[in-house]
C-alpha cells in the first residue's frame, strides 16, 4: 500500500517546531559589532581606564573604566578585548538605555602580559578605543627555591 504525501499545512506542529528551531539558531549566533579601523587608529578621547601595570597573577585583574560620550551622542555598546587570550573578546555589552556616561568595574582573566583594549560604540556608528598595558609576574610560591 502506497502512502500519498500529506498536503502542506501551514499550521502543522512540524512546521512550527522547525520555525522555532530556525529562530533559535539565528538568535544563538553572536551578532557582533565590527570594528571599522585597527584599534590603535581609534581615538581614546572620553575613555579613562584604571588597570594595574603589574599583576602577580592573571587570574583576576581588576579593570575600571569611565566612558563619556561625545556631545550629542550616547553609548550603544562596549567591548573588552584581550588580544593575547585564546578568546580575545572578553566582554561585549549592549546598552539598552541611552547613557552619556557609563562606569564599568570588572575583573579579567589574562593569559599573558598584554594590553587590554576597551572599545566604545556610539549611536551615530562612531567608535573610540583606549588601552592599558599590564605585566603578569609569577608569584614566589611558584618558585623552586
Residue 29 is assigned to a structural domain of this protein: no
- Which one has a higher pLDDT value, 5 or 97? 97
Residue 62 is assigned to a structural domain of this protein: yes
Banded model confidence at residue 26, pLDDT cuts 50, 70, 90: very low
Residue 143 is assigned to a structural domain of this protein: no
Strand partners, 106: 63
Neighbouring CB atoms inside 10 A of 80's CB total 19
Banded model confidence at residue 36, pLDDT cuts 50, 70, 90: confident
Q: Structurally, how many domains does the chain consist of?
A: 1
Residue 53 is assigned to a structural domain of this protein: yes
Percent of the chain's residues with pLDDT above 70: 71
CATH label of the domain that carries residue 134? 2.60.40.2470
Pairwise CA distance, residues 18 & 65, whole Å: 43
Residue 98 is assigned to a structural domain of this protein: yes
Query: pTM of the entire structure?
Result: 0.71
Residue 13 is assigned to a structural domain of this protein: no
Parent domain of 121: 39-138
Residue 119 is assigned to a structural domain of this protein: yes
Amino acid at each position: 500500500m502506497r502512502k500519498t504525501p500529506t498536503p502542506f499545512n501551514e499550521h502543522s506542529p512540524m512546521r512550527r517546531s522547525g520555525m522555532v528551531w530556525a529562530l533559535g539558531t539565528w538568535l544563538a549566533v553572536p551578532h557582533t559589532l565590527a570594528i571599522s579601523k585597527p584599534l590603535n587608529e581609534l581615538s581614546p578621547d572620553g575613555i579613562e581606564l584604571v588597570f594595574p601595570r603589574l599583576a602577580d597573577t592573571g587570574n583576576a585583574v581588576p579593570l575600571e573604566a569611565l566612558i563619556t560620550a561625545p556631545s550629542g551622542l550616547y553609548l550603544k555598546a562596549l567591548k573588552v578585548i584581550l588580544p593575547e587570550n585564546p578568546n580575545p573578546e572578553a566582554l561585549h555589552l549592549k546598552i539598552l538605555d541611552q547613557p552619556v556616561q557609563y562606569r564599568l568595574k570588572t575583573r579579567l582573566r589574562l593569559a599573558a602580559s598584554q594590553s587590554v583594549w576597551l572599545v566604545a560604540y556610539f549611536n551615530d556608528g562612531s567608535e573610540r578605543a583606549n588601552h592599558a598595558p599590564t605585566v603578569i609576574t609569577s608569584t614566589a610560591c611558584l618558585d623552586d627555591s
